[in-house]
Amino acid sequence: MNRIVERFARLRQRGEKGLVIYIGAGDPDLEATRRLALALDKAGADVLELGIPFSDPLADGPVNQLAAQRGLESGTTPPKVLETVRAIRRESQVPIVFFVYFNLLHRYGLERFIQEASGAGVDGLLVLDLPPEESGNYAALMKASGLAPIYLLAPTTPEDRVKGIVAQGEGFLYYVSREGVTGMQAKVSGTIGSMTDMIRRHTRLPIAIGFGISNPEQAREVAAHGDAIVVGSAVVNQIATHGRSPDLVDRVSSFVLSLSQAIRPRGGA
């Protein structure tokens, strides 16, 4: 069974909310990415999203754009990220999703990328700028390789289109809780409840809610509406602050642990 599907089934059985954590691959370098992945698994991350650095990350705000720039400067490439996943897999079975722009897949070769990602131990792809309606044979290639295609839904997505998108998704759905690019926010959106209720009318896939969650209090608030929360920029900001510090991994994993503890029942991991 796909690790993402298995993890969400386990969370549902336990009555727990999931924690999806995003970090930029190669920020500050790929050895740090490997060490962070192992530590975040232990700190309570249920799914790890690895952003493959790209020169034009239009869906990202300044924090994640700078992480992508640092990843490129450290020499990170798709083949090197795949090798890092192989290294992570020698010690951890944390579900891994690649957060990636389609240009990189197109340049690499879509079928080859999907096959090699699956072989390395990746569990799903979230291709930010690939609309399902224009994805061609992407879904078939993903299914053949056992990877979960993760799709985005937004507050502006009409209900008719929601129906079509959720029918193609697997693993979980990523609900972008506000308009705009990624980034930390002072408060969460007031429309999360109504939108997640609407999405649930059309799917049984878990709904992970992200974009803007910055602290444990917001994590707890948002988790009440979804099956999982996604935290990216706030974690990446920790990496930017402590990137070359010897206690980088401890600092970041402590922050992620605080998020995990905020959304779990008392005593949960």
Q: Which of the residues are catalytic?
A: 49, 60
Taking residue 112's Cβ as centre, other Cβ atoms within 10 Å add up to 11
Q: What is the 3-state secondary structure (H, E, C) of the chain?
A: CCHHHHHHHHHHHHCCCEEEEEEECCCCCHHHHHHHHHHHHHHCCCEEEEECCCCCCCCCCHHHHHHHHHHHHCCCCHHHHHHHHHHHHCCCCCCEEEEECHHHHHHHCHHHHHHHHHHHCCCEEEECCCCHHHCCCHHHHHHHHCCEECEEECCCCCHHHHHHHHHHCCCCEEEECCCCCCCCCCCCCCCHHHHHHHHHCCCCCCEEEECCCCCHHHHHHHHCCCCEEEECHHHHHHHHHHCCCCCHHHHHHHHHHHHHHHHCCCCCC
Task: Work out whether strand 173-176 and strand 207-210 pair parallel, antiparallel, or are unpaired.
Answer: parallel
Q: How many CB atoms lie within 10 A of CB 207?
A: 20
